[in-house]
Chain A
Amino acid sequence: GQNIDQPTEMTATEGAIVQINCTYQTSGFNGLFWYQQHAGEAPTFLSYNVLDGLEEKGRFSSFLSRSKGYSYLLLKELQMKDSASYLCAVRSGGSYIPTFGRGTSLIVHP
């Protein structure tokens, strides 16, 4: 099985930077996803990391360390619309279907 941990809730200020951490324990790691989900809506894809290091996509960046079983999602220049849940999901054992953590609810306030 897999064990994926993320903080339940975080708050941050508009314009600031926030880092959402995800740790995982799994065998046969294949890759790690980050998704954004607004309340009542479907998750939308943000990033997929397979190799160690930082990948940047506009205001969002995702980092992976396979040896530490650790990833983070970095959000810069926070906007109110970034208030959402952020889901970490791990793909392992050759499966194309990832397993999700419980998600981190991010609240951005003015």
Chain B
Amino acid sequence: EAQVTQNPRYLITVTGKKLTVTCSQNMNHEYMSWYRQDPGLGLRQIYYSMNVEVTDKGDVPEGYKVSRKEKRNFPLILESPSPNQTSLYFCASSLQVPRTGSLEQYFGPGTRLTVT
């Protein structure tokens, strides 16, 4: 089954304790991205990746790191989490359909992070 998986789905942690949220896709998509979603602010891009070893900052990258060592995985790293990073996080992967030029984007199920 084609899917994007994220782990963990729920996490409660304390300020300053490093954490990693994993994201994996089995569709061989080149493009992957991380978003955070907060009430009243919508989905905001954190980082994105156009291919292996190619990553770039989105709109709200401060406090986050990513890596893309393999095509299928795109982990999000919080080196020193703070309470303002409490949010719902979504990973997504994208593919451009060659025949139509259309773009398809699939989201993971989300990770609800609470930093106390």
Contacts and interface: CB of A to CB of B under 8 A. Distances in A.
A87 B42 contact: yes
B103 interface: yes
A61 B5 CA distance: 29
Contact of A98 (B101, B102, B105): B105
Interface of A is mostly: loop
Contact of B45 (A42, A97, A102): A97
B31 to A, nearest CB: 4
Interface stretch (A13-21, A43-51, A62-70): A43-51
Contacts of B94: 96-97
Interface stretch (B19-27, B33-41, B61-69, B75-83): B33-41
Interface of B: 30-31, 33, 35, 40-45, 48, 50, 58-59, 88, 90, 94, 96, 101-110
Interface of A: 31, 33, 40-45, 48, 50, 87, 89, 91, 95-103
9 tightest Cβ-Cβ pairs between the two chains A and B? A102-B42, A42-B107, A100-B43, A97-B48, A96-B31, A97-B33, A103-B42, A96-B94, A100-B42
